[in-house]
């Protein structure tokens, strides 16, 4: 009979709940090091969550046997009927509806608008001041999202209590659903993070309802941005099936369309600040490729060093540090039996730092991507993989590359913290404290 996966020793009844909640990354890493690539973290003394810490297991869950690994209930709770939460035919209908907005030509068509929004925000920066760079990158990414996919420009400096300020705060609050205590404690426990999540979800839904009211009344197909498409969509047998489905999609896009890109940029600036030699190479490349112009779609293919910096940042600090799944039936992975209904984690944070797949894995070395990639297919998967690979992958990479180029040609960002950056994982890979940067000119 196939064995159940091994588990670290824990406390009676509680299992590893306390140790896991205190240090999710460190605990999971130690568990994998001690017990192998399939391990039961044993939260609250029950089975799971299970960690599958090998690229082959990730490929099994996302590609080869994906029908057996469904999305967890957390996704539906956060995003309802949005693209990241639905399954099977419903997912396929939504993907087909949304795909025209995310083809290569459409993405490159957004480039000028992306840069305009980036420039609007960084025009406000002044050399010598210190800014919380995550907050700046969240605002920048939300500005880009609204201008490109919603056809609406947000105020660059919203007043406290304004629609834009509430929107930004509510979008960030959805992360509270996925903090470690929410993963391991029963649903009925009213933790502060769960209360924050519920409040943020209600605010965000009210905001997207207001956006739809403002845009409704047009003819179907009257606009080519996402908000117009959803506001005027009519369907009786496909997608969208209801007003709720439309609202859920907008909530999904508001969160997923800016949060991960903002984090990618936050960690990129942190890494560049810690590695000034790499930052100098980025500035040199941008100067040679862009010159006195603004970055544009025509420059993207030549910004190879900049693109590798973004890719390496996402390796060390994947914005989504683990992909949670739920087994729909009993499965055997790596010789171990996982029961039906088990929560499974596919930890990009661990796998992308694994020395079996990356030389000197904790080093920031963008040049490691210069000569191709002969690693296992899922040794690097910041956007997931398989048929359900993130629809916004090219959008996010284009935006991040243009943002790094736009900022690097004008400013140098110096981290004012000490030691290594500490993390506080939620749904996304959050920094524990504000990442504060001193703004300097690109050439001093």
Instruction: Kindly list the structural domains of the chain, giving each domain's residue range(s) and its CATH number in brackets, ordered by start.
Output: 17-441 (1.10.630.10)
pLDDT of residue 269: 98
* Mean pLDDT across the chain: 88
Comparing 130-134, 233-237, 282-286, 371-375, which segment has the lowest mean pLDDT? 233-237
List alpha helices for 103-242, DSSP H: 104-109, 111-122, 133-149, 163-173, 180-184, 192-215, 226-231
Please write the tens of the pLDDT for every residue from 97-154.
Answer: 999 999 889 999 999 999 999 999 999 999 999 999 999 999 999 999 999 999 889 8
- For the stretch 12-17, contacts whose Cβ atoms lie closer than 8 Å and that sit 24 or more positions apart, written own/partner, are 12/45, 13/44, 13/45, 14/44, 14/45, 15/42, 15/43, 15/44, 15/45, 15/46, 16/41, 16/42, 16/43, 17/43, 17/44, 17/45, 17/184, 17/185
Residue 208 or residue 2, greater confidence:
208
Q: What residues contact residue 93 under an 8 Å CB cut-off, 6+ apart?
A: 238, 239
Q: What is the pLDDT of residue 205?
A: 87
pTM: 0.92
Whether the predicted pLDDT of 35 surpasses 90: yes
């Amino acid at each position: 009979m196939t064995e159940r996966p091994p588990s670290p020793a824990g406390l009676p009844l509680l299992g590893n709940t306390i140790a896991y909640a205190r240090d999710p990354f460190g605990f999971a890493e130690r568990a994998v090091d001690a017990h192998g690539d399939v391990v039961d973290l044993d939260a609250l003394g029950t089975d799971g969550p299970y960690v599958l810490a090998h690229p082959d297991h990730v490929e099994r869950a996302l590609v080869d046997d994906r029908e057996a690994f469904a999305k967890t209930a957390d996704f539906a709770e956060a995003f309802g009927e949005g693209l990241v939460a639905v399954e099977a035919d419903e997912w396929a209908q939504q993907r087909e509806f949304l795909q025209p907005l995310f083809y290569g030509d459409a993405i490159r068509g957004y480039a000028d608008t992306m840069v305009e929004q980036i420039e609007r925000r960084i025009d406000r920066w002044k050399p010598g001041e210190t800014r919380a760079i995550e907050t700046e990158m969240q605002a920048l990414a939300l500005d880009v999202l609204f201008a490109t996919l919603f056809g609406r420009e947000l105020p660059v400096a919203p007043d406290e209590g304004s629609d834009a300020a509430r929107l930004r705060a509510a979008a960030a609050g959805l992360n509270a659903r996925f903090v470690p205590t929410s993963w391991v404690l029963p649903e009925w426990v009213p933790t502060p993070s769960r209360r924050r999540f519920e409040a943020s979800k209600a605010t965000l839904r009210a905001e997207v309802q207001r956006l739809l009211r403002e845009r409704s009344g047009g003819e179907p197909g009257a606009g080519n941005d996402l908000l117009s498409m959803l506001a005027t969509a009519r369907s009786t047998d496909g997608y969208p099936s209801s007003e709720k489905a439309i609202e859920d999609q907008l909530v999904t896009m508001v969160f997923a369309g800016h949060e991960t890109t903002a984090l990618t940029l936050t960690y990129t600036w942190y890494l560049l600040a810690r590695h000034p030699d790499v930052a100098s190479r980025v500035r040199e490349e941008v100067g040679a490729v862009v010159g006195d112009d603004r970055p544009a779609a025509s420059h993207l293919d030549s910004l190879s060093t900049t693109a590798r910096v973004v890719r390496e940042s996402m390796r060390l600090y994947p914005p989504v540090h683990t992909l949670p799944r739920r087994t729909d039936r009993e499965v055997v992975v790596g010789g171990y039996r996982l029961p039906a209904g088990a929560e499974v984690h596919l930890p990009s944070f661990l796998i992308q730092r694994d020395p079996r797949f990356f030389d000197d894995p904790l080093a920031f070395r963008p040049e490691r991507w210069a000569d191709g990639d002969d690693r296992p297919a899922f040794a690097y998967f910041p956007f997931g993989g398989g048929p359900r690979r993130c629809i916004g992958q090219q959008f996010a990479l284009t935006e991040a590359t243009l943002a790094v180029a736009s900022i690097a040609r004008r400013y140098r960002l110096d981290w004012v913290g000490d030691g290594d950056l500490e993390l506080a994982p939620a749904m996304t890979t959050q920094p524990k404290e504000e990442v504060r940067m001193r703004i300097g000119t690109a050439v001093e």
